[in-house]
Amino acid sequence: MKDQINEIKEKALKAIEEAEDAKILNDVRVNILGKKGELTQVLRGMGALSPEERPVIGELVNKVRDEIETKIKEREEEFKKEALKEKLENETIDITLPATKIKRGSKHPINRVIEEIEDLFVSMGYDVVEGPELETDEFCFERLNLPKGHPARDMQDSFYITEDYLLRTQTSAVQARTMLAKGGNEPIRMICAGKTYRREDDATHSHQFGQVEGLVIDKKDKNVSLADLKGTLEVFVRKLVGKNSELRFRPSYFPFTEPSYEVDVTCFKCGGKGCNLCKQTGWIELLGAGIVHPNVLKMNGYNPEEYGGFAFGTGLDRLAMFKYGIPDVRYLYANDIRFLSQFDRKDEE
Ligand code: FA5
């Protein structure tokens, strides 16, 4: 029986040594030491031994069992170490690799233009004001000297929501709101940028676009002349579009200003020489402006004998296109990240 036990031992130690993984090792354990394992079977046959032989064989079996168990444990430890080593190698972090870049958002070009305009005018003592996009016919037209049925209403095709409410067609609506709020006896210097809407849709006109409005009201002898309007617009355009820009005032018509002007600026592309952008004229139309009409002053609480002022308005989309050389207005609304990301950090340059 001793030989049989030693044989089992040798066989077990060899199998443990040759086991390639933890599963094979476990199979060895079950086959030798398990309930039906070879060594367990030997123990079961001990009943047939003489009383003298029994403790000797019993001791031997226990010794062999301990030896096999120790070997299995050692081998198990080896497998664990190997598995840990492999895991660590696979999960190695190369700290010399460049980090994943965090993508920063960027300000929309129209918002950049608005901020620049507001900063400029605030530095000249203007207030930044806001008005509602859903506006009343009264503020958008009537209080701007455009009564119902006035032919000049056709100049702005409007989105009416009800008979009295519409999406504002111009930020000029905020002129009347500001005058009324001031109560007719306080000077006004205000700038207002925001969204405007018209029933228009072609390559250069969008149903929704941005405008910025400026209004100055003061006693008639206080810097509210046409010369002051011209000087203000020169500062504005030269800061926003280019310091060499020249301005040209062309007589025009707006019901709320008299006299009224369209203001052209030397073409930013050719500098006034003439090119395809300015249709060879050297000029690009940029603003509407004029001296506030006495009727508008009167309707909104200011005495036109005592007070006077000027107003101007321009399209923000066009201004952004000038400033950044954007060739197509649709880029401003497509929200294509490849386009927008080009403006990242532009204001820090
Ligand atoms: C006005 O809206 C006047 N309120 C401007 C004004 C203010 C005059 C104060 C006098 C005193 P006009 O309709 O021309 O004027 O529009 C002004 C600018 O808005 C245009 O020059 C253009 O840049 C822009 N604009 C007008 N309609 C559209 C449109 N559908 N899409 C994009 N931009 C537009």
Q: What is the mean pLDDT of each run of 10 residues along the chain (349 residues)?
A: 86 90 89 87 80 85 90 92 89 85 84 94 96 96 92 82 94 96 94 94 79 96 93 94 89 96 88 84 92 97 96 93 81 86 65
Question: What residue owns the CA closest to ligand 1's atom 20?
Answer: 315
Question: What residue owns the CA closest to ligand 1's atom 9?
Answer: 312
Please tell me the distance between residue 11's alpha carbon and the centre of ligand 1 in angstroms. 98
Please tell me the distance between residue 288's alpha carbon and the centre of ligand 1 in angstroms. 7
Please tell me the distance between residue 315's alpha carbon and the centre of ligand 1 in angstroms. 6
Residue 293 in contact with ligand 1 by CB distance below 6 A: no
Measured distance CA(245)–CA(235) in Å, rounded: 10
Q: Please say whether the beta carbons of 193 and 168 come within 8 A.
A: no
User: 155: Cβ–Cβ under 8 A, 6 or more apart, which residues?
Assistant: none
Residue 135 in contact with ligand 1 by CB distance below 6 A: no
Spell out the alpha helix ranges (H) of the chain: 2-18, 22-33, 38-44, 53-90, 109-123, 137-140, 173-182, 226-240, 294-299, 316-324, 331-334, 337-340
Joined together, the tokens standing for residue 285 give 């139309």
Joined together, the tokens standing for residue 83 give 């598995």
Residue 254 in contact with ligand 1 by CB distance below 6 A: yes
- Pairing relation of β-strands 208-219 and 307-315? antiparallel
Please name every residue paired with 252 in a beta bridge, in sequence order, or none if there are none.
260
- Predicted local distance difference test score (pLDDT) of residue 95: 84
Q: Which atom of ligand 1 is nearest to the CA of 175?
A: 9
Q: Please say whether the beta carbons of 112 and 346 come within 8 A.
A: yes
- Predicted local distance difference test score (pLDDT) of residue 1: 76
- Predicted local distance difference test score (pLDDT) of residue 103: 77
CA dist 51 → 43, 45, 206, 311 (Å):
14, 13, 110, 123
Q: Which atom of ligand 1 is nearest to the CA of 155?
A: 13
Please tell me the distance between residue 213's alpha carbon and the centre of ligand 1 in angstroms. 10
- Predicted local distance difference test score (pLDDT) of residue 218: 96
Please tell me the distance between residue 71's alpha carbon and the centre of ligand 1 in angstroms. 91
Please tell me the distance between residue 92's alpha carbon and the centre of ligand 1 in angstroms. 62
Please tell me the distance between residue 214's alpha carbon and the centre of ligand 1 in angstroms. 13
- Predicted local distance difference test score (pLDDT) of residue 4: 85
Residue 288 in contact with ligand 1 by CB distance below 6 A: yes
**Chain-centre distance for alpha carbon 12:** 69
E strand or H helix that includes residue 122: helix 109-123
Burial letters 198-220, b for 16+ CB under 10 A, else e? beeeeeeebeebbbbbbbbbbee
Question: What residue owns the CA closest to ligand 1's atom 27?
Answer: 205
Substitution site in 170, 212, 240 for ligand 1 pocket (most atoms within 8 Å of beta carbon): 170
Question: What residue owns the CA closest to ligand 1's atom 31?
Answer: 205
- Predicted local distance difference test score (pLDDT) of residue 227: 95
